[in-house]
Every structure is written in structure tokens, then in C-alpha cells.
Amino acid sequence: MKRLLPAVTAVALIGLAAPAHAVSGDGFAPYTDMSNSTESLLDTAIGQHGVKAFTAAFVIGQGCDEIWGDTLPVGNDPNTDAAISKAKSEGASVIISSGGAAGEPLAWTCTDQGAIENGYQKIIDSYGVTSLDFDVEGAAVADTAAAARQMAAMKDLKAKNPGLTFSVTLAVLPSGLTQDGVNVVKAAHDAGVKIDNVNIMAMDYYDGTQDMGQAAIQAAQHTLSQMQGVDGSYGYGNVGITPMIGTNDDNSTFTLDDAKTVKSWADSNGIGRLAFWSINRDQSCSAFAPQASPTCSGVNQSPLAFADEFK
């Protein structure tokens, strides 16, 4: 989840009324890097901190096949499969995420529509999940043909799997999605399917000093406005917010106070999902850490303090 975003023009806020109810328990689903060396924090988050859902990252396309980021196949990765199975046995629900900063979902690496749908169905069947996430970053977001394949697959899979939901995770600025991001929402509309959750990566704006809590809120407001410009039936329940906790790649910092601010606003506006990148980073660094370390937040905190705040 690292990106450098171009500037976009701010849009007017329209039709942003939303019910005043809190994010649901399963609506908090922080990301966990399943190929990282600190997956044990996930078990602690579930067993000792009451985290009830998480987003397992990342499955990536390899031609018309799918692998986890550690290069092992979907459904045949001993470490990842065991971690997901254990989490489920402890009562946690799982969202499987495809793509990320270093890979792409299957619809972006394969042009065979049947193979794409079979690949996504294999994720559903292998892990018994009812929610899929597609993290589309970098140049991939501008691939309109891939987005069309993705949304056609989602329409078919929703018909075949009652109750299946899916999210699309997209880069954002405080002023909203890029035009390429809006085009992904339009691709769903053109395919006749509604995205259950447009999850914004509220991080790495590369625009100087930011109040990261307020920037995330502004990004969510503008994103909903853009979504409603495509389909007026979208509401805050179809929006997700995913900051990068602690030190970001652009040297901005998302603090525990920012987490409190975003959580309060999300609860008041009925945001559909809260997440963060990542459970693996939800601890202080033991020593000087490089910029945006994958294994610690870079801020002073107790272990899993961000999970506690968002939960």
C-alpha cells in the first residue's frame, strides 16, 4: 500500500446525509500482510484485543493463475492457510485482498474471463470467505479494460454466490479519488453491479504537512460525492477508510489522536468499513526504523494500540 498520487481537482460535496450509527463489528477489518514476519500479531489482536475481522493481503495474479505474495498458490500455502484457518477458528471473519503495491488482481494479469472468474471462485472456496477486496494501485488503476473484466466477474460471482460482497481499494487525496479511480466506479456501473465498499487509502498524499485525521475525513466526504455522481444510491455505508498508521512513506504521521478523530467521525456517519495498514505495524519500533517500516509504526505506542482505538 504505497503510492504517489497526482493532484486532482476538489469536487463539491453533494447528498452526503447518512444515518448516525456506528461502524459495525465486522466493519473494522485491518489489513495483515500474510507474507510478513510479524503475522503473530494477528493472533494476539484476535485472541487478546477483540479484533473480529481482518483483511488478508495479498493474493496476486500471475498470468491466469493466482499466488500469495510469498509466491505460494492460493489454497496451498501452508503458512497463510494455517493462519487464516486459526483466525476463523477463533471467531474472526476474513476478507481476502488481491493486488497491492507490488502486484495486481487477476483481472489485470489475465484476459480470459472464465479463468478470472474461476480464480476468484477458488479464493472463495479455498477459504470459505464471503467478502473479497481488490487493491488497485499505480498504473493498474488506469487499465479500463481490466476494470471492465473485473466488474463483469463480480457481477457473475455475486449471482453464483449469494451474500458475496466486494470492495475496491483505491488511492485518494483529501480532495477525493483520481479520475482513474472514479472510472473504476463507473466500470462497475457500466457492468450493472454495485461496489459494496469503495475503500480509500487515506495516506501518502505527498503534499506537505497534513492533519492526517481531518485529511482522511475530507477524502471520504469527497469520495462519496464522486461515487454519487456515478450512482446516487451510494451512501457512507459504501465507503471505507484505510489510513497507514504511524509514519507514512511521505514522512507524514497518522497518530493515535488521528485514529480517535476518524473513528468518531466514521461512527457518526455510518462508514461501512474502517481498516488500516497494517496489523503487522501496530507496535513501536525496538530501535531506529527506516521510513514507513513494514514491522512497526514509528510512533510511541503500546502493542496494538491502533487496533484498540479503531475497534
At position 223, the amino acid (one-letter code) is T
Label residue 291 by pLDDT band (50, 70, 90): confident
* CB-count exposure of residue 138 (10 Å: 0-12, 13-18, 19+): middle
Q: Which CATH superfamily is domain 31-310 in?
A: Glycosidases (3.20.20.80)
Do residues 28 and 273 make contact, with C-beta atoms less than 8 angstroms apart?
Answer: yes
pLDDT (mean) for 157-172: 98
- 100: CB partners within 8 A, 6+ apart: 1, 57, 58, 60, 69, 135, 137
Give the pTM.
Answer: 0.92
Say if residue 96 is exposed, middle or buried (CB neighbours under 10 Å; 0-12, 13-18, 19+). buried
Task: Lowest mean pLDDT of 183-187, 216-220, 291-295, name the range.
Answer: 291-295
Q: How many CB atoms lie within 10 A of CB 77?
A: 21
Using the predicted structure, report yes or no on whether residue 2 has a pLDDT greater than 90.
no
Q: Is 130 helix (H, G, I), strand (E, B) or coil?
A: coil
What average pLDDT does the segment 191-195 reach? 98
What does the pLDDT look like over 8-48, one tens digit per residue?
333 333 334 434 344 443 599 999 999 877 678 999 999 99
| Alpha carbon distance 133, 151 (integer Å) | 12
pLDDT at 238 over 70: yes
What tens digit of pLDDT does each residue of 51-108 get?
A: 999 999 999 999 999 999 989 999 999 999 999 999 999 999 999 999 999 999 999 9
Tell me, what's the pLDDT at 289? 67
- Amino acid residing at 73: P
Percent of the chain with pLDDT over 70: 90
d(CA 156, CA 133): 16
Q: Determine phi and psi for 67, rounding to 5 degrees.
A: -135, 160
Q: Provide CB contacts within 8 A for 268, sequence distance 6+.
A: 20
Per the CB < 8 A criterion, the answer to whether 111 and 63 are in contact is no
- Please state, in angstroms and rounded to a whole number, the distance separating the CA atoms of residues 35 and 141: 24
Which carries the bigger pLDDT value, residue 6 or residue 47? 47
Sequence ranges of the domains in the chain: 31-310
What average pLDDT does the structure give for the chain? Answer: 91
Query: What is the spatial distance between Cα 235 and Cα 18, in angstroms, rounded to a whole number?
Result: 7
H helix or E strand, kind and range, residue 219: helix 212-230
Q: Can you give the three-state secondary structure of 142-174, one letter per residue?
A: HCHHHHHHHHHHHHHHHHHCCCCEEEEEEEEEC
What are the grid coordinates assigned to 24, written together? 459495525
